[in-house]
Amino acid sequence: MFDICIEKTKSSPEVSFESELSRLNIKGESYPENAFKFYEPLFGWMDEYFKSESRKLQVDIGLVYLNTSSIKCIMDIIYRLEQESCNGHDIAVNWYYDKRNRNIKECGIELQEDLESDMTFNIIEQA
């Protein structure tokens, strides 16, 4: 019922939900021509997922490149997750970055600093 699977393309990331682990994965590169159109199904998915009882969700984000419009969409996703966390859902975000990719690390740090709640937001270095 809550499954989501968006295949990776040259300019867009893979997005999938592992229901048995309550884990949403976003990984790859994100520079689609219309980022909002690409991420729109994910916003709808989140609305449906959080409609019912208190839910747990782990979000693993492993992007190696984001354009400006993708950053805006990811920010919107993080802010929605933060709101759901404030509504009682158990949410943790893991922001993965390659140790050679300083820009992605800094993007994660900025997102983490912008949070106004105590939602879990981990920044994790990958080898």
pLDDT digit string (tens) for the chain, length 127 residues: 578 899 999 999 999 998 888 999 999 999 999 999 999 999 999 988 998 777 899 999 999 999 999 999 999 999 999 999 999 999 999 999 999 999 999 999 999 999 998 899 999 999 7
User: CB-side exposure of 46: number of CA atoms within 13 Å?
Assistant: 22
> How many domains does the chain fold into?
1
pTM value is 0.93
Instruction: Quote the tokens at residue 47.
Output: 């609305």
Enclosing domain of residue 44: 5-126
Q: How far apart are CA 65 and CA 76, in angstroms?
A: 17
As a residue count, the chain comes to: 127
Kindly report the CATH number assigned to the domain that includes residue 40.
3.30.750
Q: Name the CA radius of gyration of the chain, rounded.
A: 14
Helix (H) or strand (E) holding 56: strand 56-66
